[in-house]
């Protein structure tokens, strides 16, 4: 197999993995919503928290901000647990 063919195949696989994660930029999401319907895994969300003060926090208490369609960050702890909304994004604690 040619190196260029191998690179194109690898790029396609990576693109598909990233494309599966979707969220609306500038909206906030509970971790549960990101896992259930936005293509993120618990490991994705835990890796976002690594090195932060929220690293050991239970995901059910975290509200994530969608920075780009496949990128979340700016976590916020909801002391009573994150509350999902019936509308897309913009959830509160």
Domain boundaries, the chain: 22-93
In terms of Cα–Cα distance, which of 78, 58, 70 is closest to 34?
70
Of residues 6 and 85, more confidence is placed in 85
CB contact at 8 A, 54 and 62: yes
Write out pLDDT tens, residues 71-89. 999 999 999 999 888 888 7
Q: How far apart are CA 92 and CA 73, in angstroms?
A: 15
pLDDT recorded at residue 9? 42
Which pTM was predicted? Answer: 0.75
CB contact at 8 A, 89 and 23: yes
Portion of the chain with pLDDT greater than 90, in percent: 65
């Amino acid at each position: 197999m040619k190196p260029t063919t191998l690179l194109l195949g690898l790029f396609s696989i990576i693109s598909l993995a990233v494309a599966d994660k979707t969220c609306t930029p500038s909206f906030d999401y509970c971790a549960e919503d990101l896992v259930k319907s936005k293509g993120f895994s618990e490991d994705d969300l835990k890796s976002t928290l690594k090195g932060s003060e929220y690293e050991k926090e239970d995901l059910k208490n975290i509200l994530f901000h969608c920075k780009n369609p496949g990128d979340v960050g700016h976590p916020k702890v909801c002391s009573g647990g994150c509350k999902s909304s019936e509308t897309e994004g913009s959830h509160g604690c």
